[in-house]
Structure 1
Amino acid sequence: MGDLVLPDGGARPGAAGRPARVVAVVPLRDGSSGKSRLAHVLDPASRSRLIAVLARHVVGTLLASDGVERVVVVTSDPRFTWRALRDVVVDESGDAAHAGSDGLPLLTADADRLRIVLQPADRPGLDAAVERGREIASEDAAARGPVRLLVAHADLPALTPADVAALLAEDAPVVVATDRRGEGTNLLALEPPASAPSTTTVLRDSGSERQDPRARPGGGPVVEGFRFRFGPDSRAAHVAEAERLGLRAVVVQRPGTAIDLDTVEDWGELPADARAAVGLHVPALRDRDA
């Protein structure tokens, strides 16, 4: 079992020699199939707005966090994702002086730090989306050195840069930020070697293995890496995965990382400022506080 770090509001000093570069990966499926457990209180349009505002908050928080070099969003619906994140990368000042010579709006300073990536149709599912993000994050590792990987779910309305800093400051190769029940994984930080892409993809349903020839330069041996285990009881599964590889894991529980927004009960657990920010875009949830 990984060490449990209870919320104390402060970051811990990191270990010397760890990679300075951090790449965050945010899986975002689409704008229509998520938040089904809120369907009894939100219509499809409201659920889509909720998905968008939550994703915008998470991505904006990551971009505002010290040490995060770039954010990779892996999605099956790039058009929806672009619309959801447009405010993060496009200057919406409305002033003609901020428009480019071609009449198009100028991009913000964060635009070149955000990348939206299409999830391959033949690699569905949350674990596969995160794995694709890990591959993107390590593309230039050979030239620029290894990276730390930070995986963040796109529905954390109370997440702050201080939460991100505290997570990254933990001195462990694997850091799991669990949900408020202590069962799931809302954020996951991996240092090398865990942050390197898997060279063997394990198909858990069939028990068979599919080897990716791209990961075998020079025909070298296949070495299995850290396997993502998002889903039910993912906190325990990720800690067990770290133990399997002989890596120390730390479990962190902070208010800003613990509360996602999947149910009405989650809404009630949110701080007032987070409810107010989300409620501006999703009145049906705001009206529940009236």
Structure 2
Amino acid sequence: MKPWLVVPVRSIRDGKQRLAAVLSERERVRLNTALLEHVLAEATWFPGRGRTLVVTRCAEVAAVAQMAGVKWLIERNATGMNAALDEARAHLGTNRGSRLMTVSCDLPLLCSDDLIALATAAPMGTGVALARDHTRCGTNALCLPLDVPFAFSFGKDSAERHRNAAAQRGLPVVEVQRPGLAVDLDTPADLQALRFVVPWLWPHARAA
């Protein structure tokens, strides 16, 4: 059975504030939209539109999800990424044997093969697959059994918290190391490093 992919997105307009020194608000909106569209385009190949769920409190994000042909869920509590994932898990139910994947919405190198690798890395039904960010401290992706009350702990230095949460449940952890899952975009240095690798990331180039 294919897993569910959950993509939590806080806001198109408020995202990437750390890029405010180099990008205008309009440019950040364009960049955030392009990043989300990219992730959802790869998700259409795996696990597919019918098993992809965007969770957000932002109407603009929901509109992007609708245009991509994927499902979306409007958060009720709007208290952060971890609560959003809890809401998505409750919405999907706890079908035994099914799995939940989640990935960050700012992965410019992501491809469907990365999602397949994440989904198949851990033993079906018993393990957790984890992909660290490029700093090796944060978490950019997880895959875990849907029916396990796993504590999501996204935020600074989340990778070890996620490993500990799995250990508390007796779940083995397999780490997935792929550039498409590791390379995210948070700072001006990240944007500059990727400028010539992924040209559409640079809003000035996209607008030209």
Number of equivalences: 205
| Correspondence for 2:199 | 276
Matched, 1:181 2:102: no
**Aligned mate of 2:73, from 107, 117, 133:** 117
8 Å contact from structure 2 (residues 65, 71) kept in 1:
no
| Correspondence for 2:112 | 161
How far apart are residue 39 of structure 1 and its match? 0.4
C-alpha distance in structure 2 between counterparts of 1:164 and 1:174, whole Å = 14
Structure 2 length normalisation: TM-score? 0.89
How far apart are residue 45 of structure 1 and its match? 1.2
C-alpha distance in structure 2 between counterparts of 1:180 and 1:269, whole Å = 13
Matched, 1:132 2:79: no
Structure with the higher helix share, 1 or 2? 2
**Aligned mate of 1:81, from 58, 61, 71:** 61
Q: 1:68 to 1:116 in 2, by over 3 A?
A: closer
Amino acid across the alignment from 2:204: P
8 Å contact from structure 1 (residues 23, 70) kept in 2:
yes
| Correspondence for 2:169 | 245
C-alpha distance in structure 2 between counterparts of 1:284 and 1:26, whole Å = 27
User: 3-state SS of the aligned residue for 2:171?
Assistant: coil
8 Å contact from structure 1 (residues 72, 137) kept in 2:
no
User: 3-state SS of the aligned residue for 2:107?
Assistant: coil
| Correspondence for 2:27 | 46
Which has the larger Rg? 1
| Correspondence for 1:264 | 188
| Correspondence for 1:24 | 5
| Identical pairs, percent | 33
Which consecutive residues of structure 1, in runs of 5 or more, have no partner in the other structure?
1-19, 90-113, 198-224
How far apart are residue 85 of structure 1 and its match? 3.7
Quick one: higher RCO (CA 8 Å, sep 6+), 1 or 2? 1
Q: 1:75 to 1:66 in 2, by over 3 A?
A: closer
User: 3-state SS of the aligned residue for 2:51?
Assistant: strand
Deviations 1:245-265 (A, max 9, x none): 111011222111101111122
8 Å contact from structure 2 (residues 133, 183) kept in 1:
yes
C-alpha distance in structure 2 between counterparts of 1:82 and 1:171, whole Å = 31
Q: Which ranges of 4 or more aligned residues in structure 1 deviate by more than 6 Å?
A: 284-287
Which consecutive residues of structure 2, in runs of 5 or more, have no partner in the other structure?
none
User: 3-state SS of the aligned residue for 2:55?
Assistant: strand
| Correspondence for 1:170 | 121
